[in-house]
Amino acid sequence: MYDVNYHRASSVEEAASLMSRAEDGKFVAGGQTLIPTMKQRLAAPSDLIDLRHIASMKGIRVEGGKVTIGAATTHAEVAGSADIARVCPGICSLASHIGDPAVRHMGTIGGSIANNDPAADYPAAMMALGADIVTNKRTIAADDFFAGLFETALEDGEIITSVSFSAPVKCAYAKFANPASRYAMAGVFVARFDDGSVRVGVTGAGSDGVFRHKGMEDALTSDWNAGALDGVSVDEGMMLSDIHGDAAYRANLVKVMAKRAVAAAG
């Protein structure tokens, strides 16, 4: 790792101001993606601005059906939240399968979605839940936030402060984890809302990152049943193809994971 200047921010305003004064700064939250990347010298920021000590970015609030999760909330905290589990158990289960216990103690939801790894789990949930990504400048709908592999709508220096969504009636996440890395080779989050509409977020499989699958959403809106997906086709042309699995394999996996998710949601 190249040398770096570490700063600890105690408020969002202080973090933004530290960033504006840095030559080539980066925010660090759990560091579970950024520190390994810096160790490999694939990132070499001049300054690191630590967001983990900003009280207003931490914690979970569930009011009625509205869930708000601070961006610096760890995967372990989401996995273990009894409040979220009551209204949206799918996202607790998703968080409980990210990496391993040590990674979950440090990694944060804000870091995961800011990073937008095409195989990360949270982006699928954000898309399927129609979440709002709240920053220090604005609120961005998940549909407009994720912009391809490792790309998001975030501007330089913009800080995700929280995410929020309305709890669905039913939801679940099914992931086929790469046996070595445990990242998703295909992960599908399904959510059914009280007006009967269904949203389906797919991660790990798309060649352009996380996406919603309209065909599956329509089929499940008219018939909330795993069998309703039998006739839906997943376009191989949209799939990643690599040593872990080719496009046809991933297209099939997406459908299998979607069915498992619907079955698990009940």
Partner 1 sequence: MTTVNMTVNGRKVSGEVSDRTLLSQFLRENLNLTGTHVGCDTSQCGACVVHVDGKAIKSCTTLAAQMDGTSVTTIEGLANGADLHPVQAAFREHHGLQCGFCTPGMIMTAVDMIERAKASGRKLDEKTIRAELEGNICRCTGYHNIVRAIEAAAAAMA
Ligand X SMILES: Cc1cc2nc3c(=O)[nH]c(=O)nc-3n(C[C@H](O)[C@H](O)[C@H](O)COP(=O)(O)OP(=O)(O)OC[C@H]3O[C@@H](n4cnc5c(N)ncnc54)[C@H](O)[C@@H]3O)c2cc1C
**Binding site residues, ligand X, CB under 6 A:** 26-34, 36, 51, 71, 98-99, 103, 106-108, 110-112, 114-115, 117, 120-122, 154, 159-160, 182-183
Q: Does 141 bind partner 1 (CB under 8 A)?
A: no
Contacts of partner 1 in 173-232 (CB under 8 A): 182
Q: Of the two residues 180 and 243, which places its CB atom closer to partner 1 in the complex?
A: 180
8 interacts with, out of partner 1, ligand X, none, CB within 5 to 8 A per kind: partner 1
CB of 107 to ligand X, least distance (A): 2
Residues in the chain: 266
Q: Of the two residues 209 and 232, which places its CB atom closer to ligand X in the complex?
A: 209
CB of 221 to ligand X, least distance (A): 27
232 interacts with, out of ligand X, partner 1, none, CB within 5 to 8 A per kind: none
Among 12, 43, 87, 106, binds partner 1 (CB under 8 A): 106
Q: Of the two residues 96 and 221, which places its CB atom closer to ligand X in the complex?
A: 96
Q: Of the two residues 84 and 163, which places its CB atom closer to ligand X in the complex?
A: 163
What would the DSSP string read from start to end of 181-211?
T--EEEEEEEEE-TTS-EEEEEESSBTTSSE
Answer for the pair 129, 91: CB distance below 8 angstroms, yes or no. yes
Q: Does 100 bind partner 1 (CB under 8 A)?
A: yes
Measured CA to CA in angstroms, residue 261 lies from 163, 195, 205, 257 at distances of: 23, 20, 16, 6
Q: Of the two residues 25 and 168, which places its CB atom closer to ligand X in the complex?
A: 25
52 interacts with, out of ligand X, partner 1, none, CB within 5 to 8 A per kind: partner 1
Q: Does 103 bind partner 1 (CB under 8 A)?
A: yes
159 interacts with, out of ligand X, partner 1, none, CB within 5 to 8 A per kind: ligand X
Each as own residue / partner, the long-range contacts of residues 92-99 (CB below 8 Å, 24 or more positions apart, any chain) are 93/172, 93/173, 94/121, 94/122, 94/124, 94/125, 94/173, 94/175, 94/187, 94/189, 95/121, 95/122, 97/121, 97/173, 97/175, 97/177, 97/182, 98/122, 98/182, 99/32, 99/75, 99/182
4 interacts with, out of ligand X, partner 1, none, CB within 5 to 8 A per kind: partner 1
- Tell me how far apart the 2 most distant CA atoms of the chain are, in Å: 56
Residue whose C-alpha is closest to residue 30's, from 80, 90, 78, 71:
71
Give the three-state DSSP class for 71.
coil
Q: Of the two residues 155 and 195, which places its CB atom closer to ligand X in the complex?
A: 155
Rounded to an integer, what distance in angstroms lies between the CA atom of residue 49 and that of residue 96?
27
